[in-house]
């Protein structure tokens, strides 16, 4: 008998951390104490997560629910404060609390000396609390609390430097765009709840019950397609997919560790997690699955194309995140739930490492430029170059993570990305077109990531002369998380080595209790292929990745004059992708400005001129009449007496002569 | 004592008002302190209602009192008949809870003729409580009209620059509605007598029994609904609200938003819908349409405001649209959501008006462009403002979410499915207008030198907000104590309105509800 009675402690610790730092942080003042409280809070959750993870490994029963209390109880709607602990949430807990702990540790050094240090740690803990609620919730409403909670924390942390207008704008944009997604999430939930309830008598928002009863909706039906598409709209908001990805690049206004934790490793994967959580529902809607796969592939290549032409180190990583999330959606869209979750995990490792590495670079650049008294942009790669000599640890860890994201064999990203590519072409829900797009995107990824590496760490040192001597490696509190994440970026993939490569794919077996039944019921799986075909696919992926890397080596290392020439000869195309295909401008013209104009019209035109115009007009009319009637109200008693007499005469006359 | 709890609670403010008249006019703080104590005592008198578990099981009226009052032959009798059920319970408690906060907010805001202001405030409290406890339609009407006068003077005397226009507009809009209601009240009464029912006064429980033909119901319902719709206010008769709110002193705005607007929604629940169920069904699509227009319209107009107070006022139009949509869903989830959203709106919008008041007292302006970058100067204020902003947006974990979610879900399960879909866009728009306002006021650089020396909240101001914050999270995290006590009354209301048609009229979703089969 295995017990998971203290599951509730996992979200509770960071909540307490957030409250302590939020309420008392100003009095504590001491940065070390504040940072320690924040880090210990999430580290404690990590410890429990690890213990329970191993307990679950040895447990024959894989799905555990824990109900704390009733939350909302109104008629047929019964919602509990309840948690669900199964292989999927167990794995997510490890990722969130593990990567989260490292990033808290890193932040102690990175945020040193920032105003509102306590505020930062309070928000970061609050984020972890929300993310853990999202992951652990046993029903859609508790998940939604986490879902919106992480949105709130994202808002607060993007707007951390709130005195900058760009930060305030980005924060607001992130929340509002996510709300568009929430619109879908809510309607999907209503439709699901109402359909299952009224037509089949199952009134529930509980995930286990949804999974068990989803089949009642009828596979392939219009309703289930509508439900899943609405939920997917929610996912495109949170996970920055077309058409709602535009907030994520702007979100880079937040401190860099925030970008690593929230906008790369954890929160943005919530959409993938949500679909994986409701796999039984999505599997019944093949049309939705196809839409998800296409949107995922399209987002992947689209974002990668923008990543080619950005010069801000964090922006490149931001578009890369959007692109990699596209890979995850492609995976779940073709029924490769395990591969999607696998890539979610490896991506959390290498992308967190990349973002934290970029933070280390920015930190050093900022410091050096500051001491040199110049106002160059510390995030612009055109001011960098040759940093590997000054920052060896950052350089090595960054390089390792780049090899992982590029899909170089034996690094973690290779296994997860390869599995997605494999399913894209070979699964029952796959298509060679999807595979081709994904493969090409993998090549682009390798190219733009090595472009970034070369522009940052190799070649000439392009920063101002005075700044060079101030460049130095970051302190241990920053480099230790980098090293740990780099190690994970290498070995994190070994839990999912496929049988083809003489592995056992432990991850697939571990997640089988979550996905197995769905895959079997709806016939989702790999079509039979010969080993030669499969090895051919692997070879194609490796060749494409290598080509991307070699092209970057050629253009940005051997012939640094070349990129300028290429840009010069493709001016129009370059400007279009550099300006992100003008999507923000298009959205402004299509949605933002018309809404504002409508608001102004309704206010000044309809409210003030229209309704009040009528009301005031009536008032004027009454005044006009009363002006005429006032003549009769002379105030002279004999006039009134005369009127009364006349009136009586009329009445009497009426009765006499009728 | 419990025999006369409601009367004691309702008339205690008037007693206080009489005592107030003997206090020295010059000592403003004494008068304010005295009024505060009176309202706090009233709150404690009402508190046993909150702890009485009878509402969990019984839908009927409790704490009833009955005293024959006026009798003119057989043609006109009215009685002092009062009581409370699971619907009025929460509005009574909201009133007694908000009043001390409103009084405390005047400390530095009202310095002209303090005695008059406080006397009016106490009179207003009696009128509001009286309206919520009345079980006699005529008695209700008296209290309803009595509310109008103190609020009129509050706006007209203690208001802002444009106060006279706003006060007159407020008065005319509401008075027009009330007159129609009066005609309808009298008509119903004589109709009941003519149909041979032995009416003892204007008792609403007896009115509920009168079977009025559908054609007549239509007109009577319209008269009632028009009157209540103005008070709510529903689109398009909402235009008095922005002016009244903007010009009213802070305490007036708080009371107006938190309680007076609920008179309209309460009127629908207590009178218009159960008295005229056929007409209700007939007009639901139309009224739901107005509610949804109100949600979106209020939000769009709020977005473009450059006066913070007007923005909050228009957001009320949007929020009350949600309340009415939930009510018209005519199922338990929609009604419960509507009820809880009435409380939420009282708490959150009340708090937002207080927040605007804090700014106004410091800077004597409410223009958004005058601010910016305040978060750095006023961190406590920034935090509380942020929480209230997100409560207004309906962030899960705060009160706003529970209300909006149930309303939308209830509407989605009813015949109003498509209305619910459009109403859900209000969730997006709320984030737009609230966050944009918050950003312009609190974020950015502090550029205006007039804002350099702004002080953060004082102890008194934090004390004002603390109870409101408590309820933001209480209702957000554990709303069941509220639902438990309103459910029986709401189920009975559903039975009255839906009657036997229920199976034919509404979606299968309804059939599952207990007592409705």
Comparing CA positions, the residue from B307, B318, B285 lying closest to residue B425 is B318
Residues 574-633 of A with CB under 8 A from B: 595-596, 598-600, 602-603, 607, 611-612, 615, 619
Instruction: Please list every residue in chain A whose beta carbon sits closer than 8 Å to the beta carbon of residue B431.
Output: 175-176, 179
User: In the predicted model, is pLDDT for residue A191 greater than 80?
Assistant: yes
Taking CA–CA distances from A162, the nearest residue in chain B reads B443
Spatial distance between the Cα atoms of B397 and A144, rounded to a whole number of angstroms: 10
CA distance B119 to chain A (A): 32
Instruction: Please list every residue in chain B whose beta carbon sits closer than 8 Å to the beta carbon of residue A599.
Output: 300-301, 303-304
Instruction: Please list every residue in chain B whose beta carbon sits closer than 8 Å to the beta carbon of residue A615.
Output: 169, 173, 239
Instruction: Please list every residue in chain B whose beta carbon sits closer than 8 Å to the beta carbon of residue A183.
Output: 424-425, 427-428
**Closest partner CB to A599 (pick from B237, B301, B435):** B301
CA dihedral B161, B164, B166, B168 (to 10 degrees): 180
- The more confidently predicted of residues A443 and A621 is A443
Spatial distance between the Cα atoms of A620 and A42, rounded to a whole number of angstroms: 68
| 3-state SS assignment for residue A389 | helix
Span B25-46, pLDDT tens digits: 888 889 999 999 999 999 999 9
Span A593-608, pLDDT tens digits: 888 888 888 888 888 8
User: In the predicted model, is pLDDT for residue B516 greater than 70?
Assistant: no
**Closest partner CB to A163 (pick from B301, B445, B509):** B445
Comparing CA positions, the residue from A150, A428, A121, A390 lying closest to residue A265 is A150
Q: What is the pLDDT of residue A371?
A: 87
User: In the predicted model, is pLDDT for residue A48 greater than 80?
Assistant: yes
Residues A77/B331, Cβ–Cβ less than 8 Å = no
Return the ∠ at Cα B402 (arms to B397 and B406), rounded to 5°.
150
- The more confidently predicted of residues B198 and B183 is B183
Instruction: Please list every residue in chain B whose beta carbon sits closer than 8 Å to the beta carbon of residue A194.
Output: 409, 412-413, 509
- How much is the average pLDDT of A418-422? 92
Q: Do B443 and A168 touch (CB under 8 A)?
A: yes
User: In the predicted model, is pLDDT for residue A459 greater than 60?
Assistant: yes
Comparing CA positions, the residue from A587, A493, A180, A390 lying closest to residue B431 is A180
Residue with tokens 């429990």: A48
Instruction: Please list every residue in chain B whose beta carbon sits closer than 8 Å to the beta carbon of residue A77.
Output: 333, 406, 409
Q: Do A603 and B305 touch (CB under 8 A)?
A: yes
Q: Do A172 and B436 touch (CB under 8 A)?
A: yes
Span A221-261, pLDDT tens digits: 899 999 999 999 999 999 999 889 999 988 898 899 999 99
Residue A15 touches chain B, beta carbons under 8 Å: no
Spatial distance between the Cα atoms of A394 and A311, rounded to a whole number of angstroms: 19
CA distance B383 to chain A (A): 10
Q: What is the pLDDT of residue A656?
A: 67
| 3-state SS assignment for residue B160 | coil
Q: What is the pLDDT of residue B511?
A: 39
Residue A447 touches chain B, beta carbons under 8 Å: no
The token duo for B86 is: 């699971």
Q: Do B396 and A149 touch (CB under 8 A)?
A: yes
| β-strand pairing of A64-74 with A77-85 | antiparallel
Q: How many of the other CB atoms lie within 10 Å of CB of A328?
A: 30
Residue A147 touches chain B, beta carbons under 8 Å: yes
Residues 67-126 of A with CB under 8 A from B: 69-77
CA distance B267 to chain A (A): 23
- How much is the average pLDDT of A523-537? 87
pLDDT tier, A633 (very low <50, low <70, confident <90, very high otherwise): low
User: In the predicted model, is pLDDT for residue B381 greater than 70?
Assistant: yes
Spatial distance between the Cα atoms of A456 and A384, rounded to a whole number of angstroms: 5
Q: Do B442 and A162 touch (CB under 8 A)?
A: yes
Q: Do B412 and A77 touch (CB under 8 A)?
A: no
User: In the predicted model, is pLDDT for residue A152 greater than 90?
Assistant: yes
Spatial distance between the Cα atoms of A235 and A408, rounded to a whole number of angstroms: 29
Q: Do B239 and A152 touch (CB under 8 A)?
A: no
Spatial distance between the Cα atoms of A445 and A304, rounded to a whole number of angstroms: 6
Q: For chain B, give the longest Cα–Cα distance.
A: 74
CA distance B140 to chain A (A): 28
**Closest partner CB to B408 (pick from A175, A186, A595):** A186
Q: Do B483 and A190 touch (CB under 8 A)?
A: no
pLDDT tier, B512 (very low <50, low <70, confident <90, very high otherwise): very low
Residue with tokens 């998971």: A4
Q: What are phi and psi of A429, to 5 degrees?
A: -105, 10
* Burial of residue B459 (number of CB atoms within 10 Å: 0-12, 13-18, 19+): exposed
Whether ipTM > 0.85 holds is yes
Instruction: Please list every residue in chain A whose beta carbon sits closer than 8 Å to the beta carbon of residue B169.
Output: 615
Residue A53 touches chain B, beta carbons under 8 Å: no
Q: What is the pLDDT of residue A49?
A: 95
Spatial distance between the Cα atoms of A134 and A83, rounded to a whole number of angstroms: 10
Instruction: Please list every residue in chain B whose beta carbon sits closer than 8 Å to the beta carbon of residue A191.
Output: 412
Instruction: Tell me the percentage of chain B whose pLDDT exceeds 90.
Output: 64
pLDDT tier, B411 (very low <50, low <70, confident <90, very high otherwise): very high
**Closest partner CB to B333 (pick from A75, A175, A191):** A75
> H or E segment at A3?
none
**Closest partner CB to B236 (pick from A186, A187, A611):** A611
CA distance A583 to chain B (A): 20
CA distance A29 to chain B (A): 15
Question: Could you tell me the sign of the dihedral formed by the alpha carbons of A26, A30, A33, A34, in that order?
Answer: positive
Which of these ranges, A298-312, A348-362, A497-511, B192-206, has the smallest mean pLDDT? B192-206
Span B96-131, pLDDT tens digits: 999 999 999 998 888 888 899 999 999 999 999 999
Residue A504 touches chain B, beta carbons under 8 Å: no
Question: Which of A11, A15, A73, A74 is the best mutation test for B, with the most CBs of B within 10 A?
Answer: A74
Q: What is the mean pLDDT of chain A?
A: 89
Q: What is the pLDDT of residue B430?
A: 93
Q: What is the pLDDT of residue B226?
A: 92
**Closest partner CB to A183 (pick from B239, B424, B480):** B424
Q: Do A186 and B169 touch (CB under 8 A)?
A: no
Instruction: Please list every residue in chain A whose beta carbon sits closer than 8 Å to the beta carbon of residue B478.
Output: 69, 71
Question: Could you tell me the sign of the dihedral formed by the alpha carbons of A19, A23, A26, A28, in that order?
Answer: negative
CA distance B430 to chain A (A): 9
Residue A141 touches chain B, beta carbons under 8 Å: yes
Taking CA–CA distances from B509, the nearest residue in chain A reads A198
CA distance B429 to chain A (A): 8
User: In the predicted model, is pLDDT for residue B503 greater than 60?
Assistant: no
Q: How far is CA B237 from CA A133, A635, B220, B291, in A?
A: 43, 37, 19, 12
Question: Could you tell me the sign of the dihedral formed by the alpha carbons of A308, A313, A319, A325, in that order?
Answer: positive
Q: What is the pLDDT of residue B505?
A: 37
| β-strand pairing of B62-72 with A77-85 | unpaired
CA distance A201 to chain B (A): 8
Is cis: bond before A232, omega within 30 of 0?
A: no
Spatial distance between the Cα atoms of B466 and B473, rounded to a whole number of angstroms: 11
Instruction: Please list every residue in chain A whose beta carbon sits closer than 8 Å to the beta carbon of residue B487.
Output: 74-75
Residue A187 touches chain B, beta carbons under 8 Å: yes
Angular region, B290: left φ>0, alpha ψ -120 to 50, beta rest:
alpha
**Closest partner CB to B427 (pick from A149, A182, A191):** A182
pLDDT tier, A634 (very low <50, low <70, confident <90, very high otherwise): low
Instruction: Please list every residue in chain A whose beta carbon sits closer than 8 Å to the beta carbon of residue B397.
Output: 145, 148-149
Q: How far is CA B457 from CA A15, B107, B376, in A?
A: 26, 14, 13
- For chain B, the first-to-last Cα distance in angstroms comes to 40
Residues A87/A510, Cβ–Cβ less than 8 Å = yes
Q: How far is CA A500 from CA A495, A543, B431, in A?
A: 14, 18, 50
Q: What is the pLDDT of residue A587?
A: 87
CA distance A619 to chain B (A): 10
| β-strand pairing of B62-72 with B76-84 | antiparallel
Instruction: Please list every residue in chain A whose beta carbon sits closer than 8 Å to the beta carbon of residue B330.
Output: none
Instruction: Please list every residue in chain B whose beta carbon sits closer than 8 Å to the beta carbon of residue A603.
Output: 300-301, 304-305
Span A4-25, pLDDT tens digits: 889 999 999 999 999 999 999 8
Q: What is the pLDDT of residue B189?
A: 84
> H or E segment at B458?
none
Residues A361/A321, Cβ–Cβ less than 8 Å = no
Partners of B80 in the β-ladder: B67
- pTM, to two decimals: 0.91
User: In the predicted model, is pLDDT for residue A1 greater than 60?
Assistant: no
- How much is the average pLDDT of B499-512? 43
Q: What are phi and psi of A47, to 5 degrees?
A: -60, -50
Which of these ranges, A577-591, B236-250, B429-443, has the smallest mean pLDDT? A577-591
């Amino acid at each position: 008998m295995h017990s998971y009675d203290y599951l509730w402690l996992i979200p509770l610790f960071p909540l307490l951390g957030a409250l302590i730092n939020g309420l008392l942080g100003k009095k504590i003042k001491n940065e070390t104490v504040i940072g320690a409280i924040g880090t210990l809070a999430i580290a404690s959750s990590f410890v429990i997560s690890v213990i329970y993870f191993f307990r679950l490994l040895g447990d024959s029963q894989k799905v555990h629910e824990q109900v704390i209390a009733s939350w909302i109880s109104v008629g047929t709607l019964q919602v509990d404060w309840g948690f669900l602990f199964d292989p999927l949430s167990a794995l997510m807990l490890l990722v969130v609390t593990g990567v989260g702990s490292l990033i808290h540790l890193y932040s102690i050094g990175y945020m040193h000396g920032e105003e509102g240090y306590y505020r930062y740690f309070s928000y970061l803990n609050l984020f972890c609390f929300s993310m853990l609620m999202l992951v652990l919730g046993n029903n859609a409403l508790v998940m939604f609390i986490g879902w919106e909670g992480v949105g709130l924390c994202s808002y607060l942390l993007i707007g951390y430097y709130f005195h900058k207008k760009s930060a305030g704008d980005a924060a607001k944009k992130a929340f509002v765009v996510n709300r568009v997604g929430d619109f879908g999430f809510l309607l999907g939930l209503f439709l699901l709840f109402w359909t299952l309830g009224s037509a089949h008598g199952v009134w529930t928002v509980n995930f286990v019950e949804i999974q068990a009863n989803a089949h009642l909706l009828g596979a392939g039906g219009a309703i289930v397609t509508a439900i899943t598409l609405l939920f997917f709209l929610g996912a495109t908001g949170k996970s920055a997919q077309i058409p709602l990805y535009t907030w994520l690049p702007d979100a880079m206004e937040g401190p860099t560790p925030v970008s690593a934790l929230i906008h790369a490793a954890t929160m943005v994967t919530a959409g993938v997690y949500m679909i994986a959580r409701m796999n039984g529902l999505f599997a019944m809607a093949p049309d939705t699955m196809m839409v998800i796969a296409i949107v995922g592939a399209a987002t992947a290549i689209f974002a990668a194309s923008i990543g080619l032409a950005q010069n801000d180190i964090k922006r490149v990583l931001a578009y890369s995140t959007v692109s990699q999330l596209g890979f995850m959606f492609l995976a779940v869209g073709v029924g490769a739930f395990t591969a999607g979750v696998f890539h979610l995990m490896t991506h959390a490792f290498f992308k967190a490492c990349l973002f934290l590495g970029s933070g280390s670079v920015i930190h050093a650049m900022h410091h050096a430029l500051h001491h040199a008294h110049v106002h160059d942009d510390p995030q612009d790669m055109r001011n960098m170059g040759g940093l590997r000599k000054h920052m060896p640890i950052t350089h090595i860890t960054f390089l390792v993570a780049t090899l992982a994201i590029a899909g170089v064999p034996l690094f973690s990203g290779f296994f997860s990305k390869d599995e997605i590519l494999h399913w894209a072409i070979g699964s029952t829900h796959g298509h060679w077109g999807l595979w081709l797009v994904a493969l090409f995107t993998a090549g682009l990824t390798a190219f733009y990531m090595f472009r970034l590496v070369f522009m940052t760490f190799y070649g000439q040192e392009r920063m101002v002369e005075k700044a060079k001597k101030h460049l130095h490696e970051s302190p241990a509190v920053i480099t230790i998380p980098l090293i740990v994440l780099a190690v994970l970026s290498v070995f994190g993939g070994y839990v999912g080595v496929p049988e083809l490569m003489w592995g056992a794919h432990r991850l697939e077996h571990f997640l089988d209790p979550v996905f197995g039944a769905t895959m079997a019921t709806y016939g989702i799986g790999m079509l039979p292929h010969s080993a030669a075909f499969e090895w051919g696919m692997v070879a194609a992926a490796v060749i494409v990745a290598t080509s991307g890397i070699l092209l970057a080596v050629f253009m940005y290392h051997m012939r640094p004059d070349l990129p300028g020439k290429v840009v010069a000869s493709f001016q129009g195309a370059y400007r279009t992708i550099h300006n992100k295909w003008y999507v923000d401008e298009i959205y402004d013209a299509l949605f933002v400005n018309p809404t504002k104009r409508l608001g102004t019209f309704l206010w000044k035109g309809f409210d003030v001129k229209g309704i009040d115009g009528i009301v005031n007009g009536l008032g004027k009319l009454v005044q006009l009449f009363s002006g005429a009637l006032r003549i009769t109200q002379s105030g002279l008693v004999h006039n009134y007496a005369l009127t009364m007499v006349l009136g009586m005469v009329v009445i009497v006359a009426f009765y006499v002569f009728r | 004592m419990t025999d006369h709890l409601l009367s004691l609670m309702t008339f205690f403010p008037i007693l206080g008002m009489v005592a107030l008249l003997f206090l020295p006019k010059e000592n403003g703080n004494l008068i304010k302190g005295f009024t505060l104590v009176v309202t706090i005592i009233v709150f404690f008198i009402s508190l046993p209602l909150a702890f009485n578990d009878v509402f969990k099981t019984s839908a009927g009226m409790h704490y009833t009192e009955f005293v024959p009052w006026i009798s003119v032959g057989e043609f006109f009798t009215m009685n002092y008949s009062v009581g409370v059920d699971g619907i009025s319970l929460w509005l009574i408690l909201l009133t007694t809870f908000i009043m001390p906060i409103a009084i405390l907010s005047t400390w530095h805001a009202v310095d002209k003729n303090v005695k008059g202001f406080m006397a009016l405030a106490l009179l207003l409290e009696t009128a509001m409580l009286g309206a919520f406890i009345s079980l006699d339609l005529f008695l209700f009407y008296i209290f309803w009209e009595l509310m109008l006068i103190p609020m009129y003077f509050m706006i007209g005397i203690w208001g802002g620059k444009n106060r006279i226009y706003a006060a007159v507009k407020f008065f005319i809009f509401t008075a027009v509605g009330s007159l129609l209601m009066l005609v309808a009240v009298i008509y119903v009464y004589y109709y009941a007598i003519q149909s041979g029912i032995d009416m003892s006064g204007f008792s609403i429980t007896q009115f509920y029994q009168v079977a009025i033909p559908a054609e007549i119901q239509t007109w009577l319902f319209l008269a009632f609904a028009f009157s209540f719709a103005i008070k709510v206010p529903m689109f398009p008769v909402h235009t008095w609200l922005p002016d009244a709110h903007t010009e009213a002193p802070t305490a007036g705005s708080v009371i107006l938003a938190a309680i007076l607007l609920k008179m309209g929604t309460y009127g629908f629940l207590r009178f218009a819908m159960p008295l005229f169920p056929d007409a209700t069904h007939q007009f639901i699509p139309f009224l739901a349409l107005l509610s949804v227009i109100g949600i979106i319209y209020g939000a769009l107009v709020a977005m473009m405001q450059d006066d913070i107070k007007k923005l909050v006022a228009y957001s009320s139009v949007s929020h009350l649209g949600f309340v009415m949509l939930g009510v018209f869903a005519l199922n338990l989830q929609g009604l419960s959501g509507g009820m809880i959203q009435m409380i939420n709106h009282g708490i959150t919008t009340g708090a937002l008006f207080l927040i605007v008041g804090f700014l106004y007292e410091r800077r004597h302006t409410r223009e958004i462009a005058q601010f910016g970058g305040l978060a750095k100067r006023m961190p406590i204020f920034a935090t509380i403002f942020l929480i209230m902003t997100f409560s207004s947006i309906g962030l899960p974990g705060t009160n706003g979410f529970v209300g909006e979610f149930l309303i939308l879900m209830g509407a989605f399960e009813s015949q109003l499915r498509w209305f619910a879909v459009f109403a859900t866009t209000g969730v997006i728009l709320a984030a737009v207008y609230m966050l944009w306002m918050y950003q312009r006021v609190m974020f950015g650089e502090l550029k205006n030198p007039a804002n350099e020396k702004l002080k953060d909240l004082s102890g008194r101001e934090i004390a004002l907000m603390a109870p409101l914050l408590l309820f933001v999270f209480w209702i957000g995290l554990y709303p069941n104590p509220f639902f438990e006590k309103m459910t029986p009354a709401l189920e009975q209301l559903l039975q009255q309105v839906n009657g036997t048609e229920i199976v034919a009229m509404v979606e299968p979703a309804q059939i599952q509800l207990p007592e409705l089969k």
